[in-house]
A and B are shown apart, each in its own frame.
Chain A
Amino acid sequence: MNALELIGLRAGYGSIEVLHGVSLVVPAATVVALLGPNGAGKSTLLKVASGTIATTDGCLHVGGVHVNGADAAALAQAGVCRIPEGRGIFPNLTVAENLRMWTGVGDLRPAEVAERTFGRFPRLGERRAQLAGTLSGGEQQMLAMSRSLVVDPAVLLLDEISMGLAPIIVAELYELVGTLAQQGIAILLVEQFAQTALAVADSAVILSQGRVTRTGTPAEVEEHLAAAYLGGAA
């Protein structure tokens, strides 16, 4: 059974439609890279899949269940975890308070959440009483990613987690992505650096102007990347 399935999905902002009938599947324990030029609708797709933006047409299935119309909080409870673009943290809460917020989903107690996070990212442990907004960019992204560690999601949606970070931190974060996939989580990955994403992905999808233009293995998709990004004849 596919953990996440989109069938002919349409959505947008107000009267402007961004996704014109997108279909894709993300099976459990699989990393799917979602690639495409700026403005293709990648972030919008993740927002729709996490319930932040409502679907106007088509179907959204999570774990085989039809979930059109469920809001973000409900989908979070159903096992969808989206790490938004930028930093998915509460800047005016301390690190410890941010972790406390992660206990809204799943059945871990606050102490267990802290233990698991600080085990993976010891640096956050040193800064537990600090306001999250004062952390470095890398630490902020670690904190944001820690949510995926502790809520035991079925579907993980990652939006540009490498944005503005040093390569060494990006490598560390992608190592975590690999581990999470091995644990059985279905991961849909949006990434500006196609090579980075394709390196960890099991399959890839190119999204262009709100439509899926190509699906395949990372190697197959890579050949068509230049055309998709630069708008040449595909």
Chain B
Amino acid sequence: MTTFLALSITGLVVGCIYALTACGLVVTYTTSGVFNFAHGAIGMVAAFTYWQLSVGWGWPAPLAFLAVLLVLAPLLGAVVERVLIRPLYGAPIGVTLVATLGLLVTLLGVGFLVWPPDTTRVLPKFFEGHTVTVFSLVVDYNQLLVIVTSVVVAVGLRLFFSRTRLGIAMRAVVDDPELAALAGTKPERVSQLSWAMGASLAALAGVLLAPLQTLNVTELTLLVINGYAAAMAGRLRNLPATVAGALVIGVSSSLVLGYAGPQVVNYVRPAIPMILLFIAVLFLKQERLRAGSLAGLRMPRTTGLRQSVGVGVVFVVVAGFVSGQLSPAHLAIGSQGLVLAFVMLSLVLLSGYGGQVSLCQLTFAGLGAYAMGKTGGGALGLLAAIALPAAAGALVALTVVRLRGLFLALATLAFAQAMDQIFFNHALGYGGTLAIPRPRLPFVDTADDQVYFVLLAVVLALGSVGLLVLRRRAFGRRLIALNDSPAASATMGVSPVRTRLVVFTVSSAVAGLGGALLGGLHGSVSPNDFLLLNSCVLLLLATLGGLYTPTGAFLAAMSYALFPELQKLVPELGQVQFLLTGLGVLALGRNRYGVGGQLADAGEKLRALRLQRVGVARAAG
């Protein structure tokens, strides 16, 4: 019984922190209509700042606490609203999602930069050493503080949003900012205030969570993600349900940890919040079919068959020539870029054409690599590397078939994180590796790095040409139509379910094959190759490069492959891939078609100019 109580208290404390996180998420979502993926990252930065002030610079703890909570965090929230969110009002959900993901990644980069992980940082608990005994159970003041704070915040928020004019105005602004302005309330001011409040709540959760473990940039960020499930339990609106959900998650995780055998603990416990998040998202109310909305921008022109084949052939020839000139190290980087570009083709299909935001592409790549490794390569291996992720993709598609936008992103996030914890960590060995053979081909020796480089170039060229063929055919038009207006597509007899099933399956298969080839490149894979955060970086880079063009995917993948090199050049920058990607997204995130789209546009203008010149010449002649 004592064990049970002790476990429950531990769980309750964690649950309370999840509740604080989730409340913060709900506050920003209900008051600005934007789901802040960077919420956890804000909590992380706040916790580190608190450490810096109190431990690093020796400020008194209460002063540091108040400075972080009431000054720095709200300031950060207000600045984020002004710089990042305000220009995006009315933008499609995909754009705001990428923007806050970009912020998440930027803050991660900042975290690594300012607080390099080479030193251990520990925050003392609040009121260290003080305990009370309740029913023969020792509870320390830190735990009490967490519980009391959460109760006060939850009740306070509820009253604030239902009783005060400012709280009501915050909700009203989401409903109809224009009307709010007509009623004499400045919508921007209100939104800014709500972002400040949300950031403050994130900071509170981060600072309370931090003393319970050693400070770690990624862990803190991801732990807070566990609160997402709770926010979903309250459908992102209902605060009491959110708090209840958070407590259930906290206590159940703690009880499982205490009672279940080590087998279950290792496999399932870290994934419990993610599994709950997945389930919660699935049970959300059915969304109505959306009628079309104007994207406002012209899509890049789809390259014709002859031109794309031509470019593909030139690409392969150039790759063949270049492969002879590169040093082994550069060859490896190039190969990495090529194979990642192939993985990104799956994103072009799924997110670019299909408009579905997926945060689990690397998970499918990991499944492909796993299948290849377990079957020992060969034709069978390649087949398995395509079939296993395709099957998994189909399964995911069927479960999330009615979700779109934000909720689809959350479901794929949960899937990626859960697979990470349950599957890859074990199937690929703890931090260990799984050997992946390269595919064998007649006449050529794929074990040779130079040959493999050219092979990858061929595969990428074939994949790109194939993708463009798919885009120009009826299936491609169906995808675009479904993304533009699900309602109109349904009335014309386009089955959303079947189309989405196919696109998910094909895209997972592409990602899987890419994963197998990636594994073959290095000879082995480890769980760290397919982390959720890497999937996020991949999506962001693909967005930057341009989600609509294979060229964009290629550019994005090449820059991803170059990050480790850059890291070696300027090690002070910390984790460059986070910082640079994030900053890039923050700077360019508003351009939906990315660099690839710009290039296509430029090409288009050149063509027009040439045609015009030819016309003039003809007229003159």
Asked if A pairs with B, the answer is: yes
Enumerate chain A residues within 8 angstroms of B183, measured Cβ to Cβ.
76, 101-102, 104-105, 147, 151
Kindly state whether residue B297 has any CB partner on chain A within 8 Å.
Answer: no
**Contact flag A104-B185 (CB < 8 Å), given A93-B168, A97-B168:** yes
**Residue on B nearest A110 in the bound complex, by CB:** B165
* A84→B179 contact, CB < 8 A: yes
Contact of B169 among A88, A91, A92, A101 (CB under 8 A): A101
CA distance A90 to B180 in the complex (A): 9
* B182→A82 contact, CB < 8 A: yes
Enumerate chain A residues within 8 angstroms of B174, measured Cβ to Cβ.
92
**Residue on A nearest B179 in the bound complex, by CB:** A88
Q: Which of A151-192 contact B (CB under 8 A)?
A: 151
* A90→B175 contact, CB < 8 A: yes
Kindly state whether residue A199 has any CB partner on chain B within 8 Å.
Answer: no
Enumerate chain A residues within 8 angstroms of B168, measured Cβ to Cβ.
93, 97, 100-101
* A71→B182 contact, CB < 8 A: no
Enumerate chain B residues within 8 angstroms of A91, measured Cβ to Cβ.
175
CA distance A186 to B184 in the complex (A): 19
With both chains docked as a complex, state the minimum distance between the C-beta of B403 and any C-beta of chain A, in angstroms. Answer: 21
Kindly state whether residue A73 has any CB partner on chain B within 8 Å.
Answer: yes
Main secondary structure of the interface of A (DSSP, over half): loop
What is the total of A-B residue contacts with beta carbons within 8 Å? 68
Kindly state whether residue A198 has any CB partner on chain B within 8 Å.
Answer: no
Give the size of the chain B interface in residues (CB under 8 angstroms). Answer: 19
With both chains docked as a complex, state the minimum distance between the C-beta of A223 and any C-beta of chain B, in angstroms. Answer: 35
Kindly state whether residue B178 has any CB partner on chain A within 8 Å.
Answer: yes
* B175→A52 contact, CB < 8 A: no
Kindly state whether residue A50 has any CB partner on chain B within 8 Å.
Answer: yes
Enumerate chain A residues within 8 angstroms of B181, measured Cβ to Cβ.
51-52, 71-73, 76
Kindly state whether residue A2 has any CB partner on chain B within 8 Å.
Answer: no
Kindly state whether residue A28 has any CB partner on chain B within 8 Å.
Answer: no
Kindly state whether residue B176 has any CB partner on chain A within 8 Å.
Answer: yes
Encode B126-143 as 1/0 by CB contact (under 8 A) with A.
Answer: 000000000000000000
Kindly state whether residue B172 has any CB partner on chain A within 8 Å.
Answer: yes
Enumerate chain B residues within 8 angstroms of A84, measured Cβ to Cβ.
178-179, 182
Contact of B182 among A50, A92, A100, A103 (CB under 8 A): A50
Enumerate chain B residues within 8 angstroms of A51, measured Cβ to Cβ.
181
**Residue on B nearest A144 in the bound complex, by CB:** B179
* B184→A90 contact, CB < 8 A: no
Contact of A88 among B162, B182, B186, B187 (CB under 8 A): B182
Contact of A76 among B165, B176, B182 (CB under 8 A): B182
Enumerate chain A residues within 8 angstroms of B169, measured Cβ to Cβ.
101, 104
* A101→B186 contact, CB < 8 A: no
CA distance A159 to B176 in the complex (A): 17
Enumerate chain A residues within 8 angstroms of B180, measured Cβ to Cβ.
90, 101
* B182→A93 contact, CB < 8 A: no
Kindly state whether residue B269 has any CB partner on chain A within 8 Å.
Answer: no
CA distance A82 to B180 in the complex (A): 11
Q: Which of B171-216 contact A (CB under 8 A)?
A: 171-172, 174-176, 178-187
CA distance A89 to B182 in the complex (A): 11
With both chains docked as a complex, state the minimum distance between the C-beta of A142 and any C-beta of chain B, in angstroms. Answer: 16
CA distance A101 to B178 in the complex (A): 13
* A52→B184 contact, CB < 8 A: no
* A93→B165 contact, CB < 8 A: no
Contact of A71 among B172, B176, B186 (CB under 8 A): B186
* A93→B179 contact, CB < 8 A: no
* B165→A100 contact, CB < 8 A: yes
**Residue on A nearest B169 in the bound complex, by CB:** A101
* A73→B186 contact, CB < 8 A: yes
* B171→A92 contact, CB < 8 A: yes
With both chains docked as a complex, state the minimum distance between the C-beta of A23 and any C-beta of chain B, in angstroms. Answer: 24
CA distance A89 to B168 in the complex (A): 13
Enumerate chain A residues within 8 angstroms of B182, measured Cβ to Cβ.
50, 52, 72, 76, 81-82, 84, 88
* A52→B178 contact, CB < 8 A: yes
Contact of A92 among B175, B184, B185 (CB under 8 A): B175
Enumerate chain A residues within 8 angstroms of B179, measured Cβ to Cβ.
84, 88-90
**Contact flag A93-B172 (CB < 8 Å), given A76-B181, A84-B179, A88-B179:** yes
With both chains docked as a complex, state the minimum distance between the C-beta of A82 and any C-beta of chain B, in angstroms. Answer: 5
**Residue on B nearest A157 in the bound complex, by CB:** B182
Kindly state whether residue A56 has any CB partner on chain B within 8 Å.
Answer: no
Task: Tell which of B168, B171, B186 has the most Cβ of chain A within 10 Å.
Answer: B168
Kindly state whether residue A134 has any CB partner on chain B within 8 Å.
Answer: no
Kindly state whether residue A77 has any CB partner on chain B within 8 Å.
Answer: yes
**Contact flag A72-B178 (CB < 8 Å), given A77-B184, A105-B184, A147-B183:** yes
Encode A57-91 as 1/0 by CB contact (under 8 A) with B.
Answer: 00000000000000111001100011010001111
CA distance A89 to B175 in the complex (A): 9
Enumerate chain B residues within 8 angstroms of A52, measured Cβ to Cβ.
178, 181-182
Enumerate chain B residues within 8 angstroms of A76, measured Cβ to Cβ.
181-184
**Residue on A nearest B181 in the bound complex, by CB:** A72
* B165→A90 contact, CB < 8 A: no
With both chains docked as a complex, state the minimum distance between the C-beta of A47 and any C-beta of chain B, in angstroms. Answer: 9
CA distance A90 to B171 in the complex (A): 9
Enumerate chain B residues within 8 angstroms of A104, measured Cβ to Cβ.
165, 169, 183-185
With both chains docked as a complex, state the minimum distance between the C-beta of A213 and any C-beta of chain B, in angstroms. Answer: 28
With both chains docked as a complex, state the minimum distance between the C-beta of B239 and any C-beta of chain A, in angstroms. Answer: 14
CA distance A92 to B181 in the complex (A): 17
**Residue on B nearest A133 in the bound complex, by CB:** B175
Contact of A73 among B162, B165, B184 (CB under 8 A): B184
CA distance A88 to B181 in the complex (A): 12
With both chains docked as a complex, state the minimum distance between the C-beta of A155 and any C-beta of chain B, in angstroms. Answer: 12
CA distance A102 to B185 in the complex (A): 10
Enumerate chain B residues within 8 angstroms of A147, measured Cβ to Cβ.
183
With both chains docked as a complex, state the minimum distance between the C-beta of A139 and any C-beta of chain B, in angstroms. Answer: 17
Task: Tell which of B171, B178, B183 has the most Cβ of chain A within 10 Å.
Answer: B183
A-B contact sample (20 more), CB < 8 A, given A71-B186, A92-B171: A52-B182, A72-B182, A73-B181, A73-B185, A82-B182, A84-B178, A84-B182, A88-B179, A90-B171, A90-B175, A90-B180, A93-B175, A100-B165, A101-B165, A101-B168, A101-B180, A101-B183, A102-B183, A104-B169, A104-B185
Pairs A–B under 8 Å by Cβ, sample size 7: A50-B182, A72-B178, A73-B185, A73-B187, A93-B168, A104-B165, A110-B165
Q: What is the interface of chain A, defined by CB distance below 8 A to chain B?
A: 50-52, 71-73, 76-77, 81-82, 84, 88-93, 97, 100-105, 110, 147, 151
- Closest CB pairs A-B (n = 10): A72-B181, A104-B184, A105-B184, A76-B184, A90-B175, A73-B186, A90-B172, A73-B181, A104-B185, A97-B168
